[in-house]
């Protein structure tokens, strides 16, 4: 075991052996929530020193809180930096799926499913892990259908929802993502070249939707369109998914349908979210 030398590395057991009232008393819960609030505001994460300074709390007290959070995946530690972990992200997704954005968008997901007779989904961009997450689903009633559970994730570079979300991010974020390529497709292991993906993203922005024909899931196809917020930013998308053969036969109709529903949903949801924000401030 290496010995701690830098101020941001975990303290040696002897240094953290004495329980601190801040780490063990009633204030510890408030301090944990404050840690989550700070980390939610930065993609780069924070070091122990930065957290200590921001919270005006001793490192030993914070370390006593951070260790169990890392151990239970509520926080992730990479080197000296702490970030939100998969457990807290899943909790946030569950809350969002049940009580916030998805409840407002539910009617449009239902409309998409009803008009297409296929499976419809609301998806969200997970910027931390750079994947797309399914946060609401209405499955087709047809015997042969595409089905995936809420909470499932797909790569950004290959799925229709992932690529449409990627296409509408700030250019700096897109380039940061592309710098991690080339990418390997989960179907067949084919290489997705960076320049080809960049061209695909440009075409998606021009056409207003993304199409996947068996690239993400063998035998399945998807059409996705972005949901814009009041600031013109995109963190969610509507997705229509079906068996590939059936989707291919009606692709022009399905593309037009998804774009139309997503356009109306964007206007309605942006207004609703703005109204909610104003109400919370008043």
**Least-confidence region, from 117-126, 150-159, 168-177, 258-267:** 150-159
- DSSP state letter for 250: T
User: Is there a domain that residue 3 lies in?
Assistant: no
State the pTM of this model. Answer: 0.62
Based on the fold, state whether residues 149 and 170 are members of the same structural domain: yes
Based on the fold, state whether residues 100 and 237 are members of the same structural domain: yes
In this prediction, residue 191 carries a pLDDT of 84
Q: Per-residue confidence at 103, pLDDT binned at 50, 70, 90?
A: confident
In this prediction, residue 176 carries a pLDDT of 94
Based on the fold, state whether residues 109 and 208 are members of the same structural domain: yes
Count Cβ atoms below 10 Å from residue 154 Cβ, excluding itself. Answer: 23
**pLDDT > 90 in the chain, percent:** 57
Domain count, the chain: 2
Based on the fold, state whether residues 110 and 240 are members of the same structural domain: yes
- DSSP state letter for 14: G
CA 253 vs. chain centroid, Å, equals 28
User: Is there a domain that residue 70 lies in?
Assistant: yes
Based on the fold, state whether residues 199 and 125 are members of the same structural domain: yes
In this prediction, residue 14 carries a pLDDT of 35
> What is the Cα–Cα distance from 27 to 22, expressed in whole angstroms?
6
Based on the fold, state whether residues 49 and 104 are members of the same structural domain: no
User: Is there a domain that residue 124 lies in?
Assistant: yes
Judge whether residue 80 has pLDDT over 70. yes
Q: Per-residue confidence at 217, pLDDT binned at 50, 70, 90?
A: confident
Based on the fold, state whether residues 75 and 104 are members of the same structural domain: no
Give the tens place of pLDDT for each residue, 51-69. 999 999 999 999 999 999 9
User: Is there a domain that residue 5 lies in?
Assistant: no
Give the tens place of pLDDT for each residue, 121-148. 999 999 988 999 999 999 999 898 888 8
Which of 65, 84, 103 finishes a domain? 84
User: Is there a domain that residue 7 lies in?
Assistant: no
Domain that holds residue 41: 13-84
Based on the fold, state whether residues 165 and 267 are members of the same structural domain: yes
Selection from 198, 139, 153, 195 nearest residue 174 by Cα: 198
Give the tens place of pLDDT for each residue, 259-274. 999 999 998 887 755 4
In this prediction, residue 148 carries a pLDDT of 85
């Amino acid at each position: 075991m290496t010995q701690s030398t830098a101020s941001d590395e975990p303290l040696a057991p002897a240094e953290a052996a004495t329980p601190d009232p801040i780490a063990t008393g009633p204030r510890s819960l408030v301090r944990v929530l404050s840690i989550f609030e700070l980390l939610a505001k930065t993609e780069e994460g924070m070091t122990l020193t930065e957290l200590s300074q921001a919270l005006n709390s001793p490192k030993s007290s914070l370390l006593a809180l951070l260790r169990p959070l890392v151990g239970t995946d509520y926080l992730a530690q990479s080197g000296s930096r702490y970030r939100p972990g998969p457990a807290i992200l899943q909790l946030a997704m569950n809350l969002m799926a049940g009580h916030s954005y998805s409840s407002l968008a539910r009617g449009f997901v239902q409309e998409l499913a009803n008009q297409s007779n296929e499976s419809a989904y609301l998806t969200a961009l997970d910027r931390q892990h750079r994947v797309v997450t399914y946060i609401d689903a209405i499955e087709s009633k047809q015997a042969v259908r595409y089905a995936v559970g809420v909470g499932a994730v797909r790569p950004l570079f290959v799925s229709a929802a992932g690529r449409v979300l990627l296409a509408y991010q700030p250019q700096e974020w897109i380039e940061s993502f592309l710098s991690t390529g080339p990418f390997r497709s989960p179907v067949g292991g084919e290489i997705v070249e960076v320049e080809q993906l960049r061209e695909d993203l440009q075409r998606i922005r021009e056409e207003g939707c993304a199409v996947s024909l068996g690239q993400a899931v063998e035998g399945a196809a998807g059409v996705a369109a972005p949901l814009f917020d009041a600031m013109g930013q995109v963190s969610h998308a509507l997705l229509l998914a079906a068996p590939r053969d059936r989707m291919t036969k009606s692709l022009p109709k399905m593309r037009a349908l998804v774009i139309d529903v997503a356009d109306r949903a964007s206007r309605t949801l942006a207004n609703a979210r703005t109204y909610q924000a104003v109400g919370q401030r008043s």
